[in-house]
Amino acid sequence: MLGGKRVKWILVIPAVGILAFFGPFMFAYSLRLSFFHWPKIPTESPSYSGLENYRAALIDPNFRRSLLVTLKFAGFGIPLQFFAGLGIALALNRLGEIGKKLCVPLIAGSMIPDVGAGIMWYLILSYQYGPVSYFLDLLGLRKIDWLGTTAGSFFAIVIGDSWAAIPFMMMILYAGLISLPKDVLEAATIDGASGLQMLWRVTLPLLKPVILVALVLRISGAIRTFGLVRALTEGRPGGATEVVSYYIFNQGFTYWNLSYASALTFLILPIIMFVIIAFMKVMRGGIEI
């Protein structure tokens, strides 16, 4: 038994060591880089610029626009994903053993990488060749240029993100539902609680910690969304779908403003922390379900 534990620790130590070294190292290096001006000519050396990158970020209208797009993206997408995931999880829970078997194929969408989902939805919503346009044309209806308009492209990234996030939400909430104490649910049923009362007064309050975890993970994921936007819209049209992570990517690797991109990253970090902490406080004490 002890020998087996030693083997496990030996296998884990290299991975832990790599993370323990590169995590703090990359954090410190990126932070240092944000206080310098990174030259676009390889022969030149970086020059110290102090807080100039941070000052530039605070007055950058494109950065503020990308933040607003990200907040809208999360504000529209996360409620849709939560309620859809909760509805499916409740339906699976009522099906008993059949629901457990159906859970596996239903989570397939969450296993596809963001870039793959973006390419798939790009092909589906293509104005010229996509199946959506084909069926609209078949029905004699006007085709919609989903990826060529502000509203259409924003709708596209929300739906593309939800396609993968709804199964993720469903999986977490379903796991929470099947782990709820059966005696409490049975007692509520004996007391004559209706289905809606059972859901509102018993199931959701008991599920509150699981809901909190699911929503915190989705908020973090929505703010960090990159691959889907990169493959589906590339921030078009006119920056209408340029979320903050994609804006930072463009600054760093399209325009080669590495120092500015690092400063943007460290400005985003406290925003993410503030949003998540505020949400957790509201969920834990401010709102009684």
Structure tokens at 269: 């970090």
| Cβ atoms 244, 268 nearer than 8 A | yes
Name which residue leads in pLDDT, 275 or 57. Answer: 57
User: Where does the pLDDT of residue 21 fall: very low under 50, low under 70, confident under 90, or very high at 90 and above?
Assistant: confident
Q: Calculate helix-pair angle for 258-281, 204-223, nearest 10 degrees.
A: 170
User: Where does the pLDDT of residue 24 fall: very low under 50, low under 70, confident under 90, or very high at 90 and above?
Assistant: confident
Sign of the four-CA dihedral 82, 87, 90, 95: negative
Specify the long-range contacts of residues 272-276, CB closer than 8 Å, at least 24 apart: 272/220, 272/223, 275/219, 275/223, 276/216, 276/219, 276/220
CA-wise closest residue to 90 among 174, 196, 167, 183: 174
| Cβ atoms 227, 243 nearer than 8 A | no
Give the bridge partners for 47, in sequence order: 37
Q: How high is the pLDDT of residue 15?
A: 73
Domain boundaries, given as residue ranges, for the chain: 55-286
Q: How high is the pLDDT of residue 23?
A: 78
Mean pLDDT of the chain: 86
| Cβ atoms 107, 174 nearer than 8 A | no
Structure tokens at 210: 């699981």
Q: How high is the pLDDT of residue 2?
A: 47
Give the bridge partners for 37, in sequence order: 47
User: Where does the pLDDT of residue 285 fall: very low under 50, low under 70, confident under 90, or very high at 90 and above?
Assistant: low
Structure tokens at 235: 């921030």
| CATH of segment(s) 55-286 | 1.10.3720.10
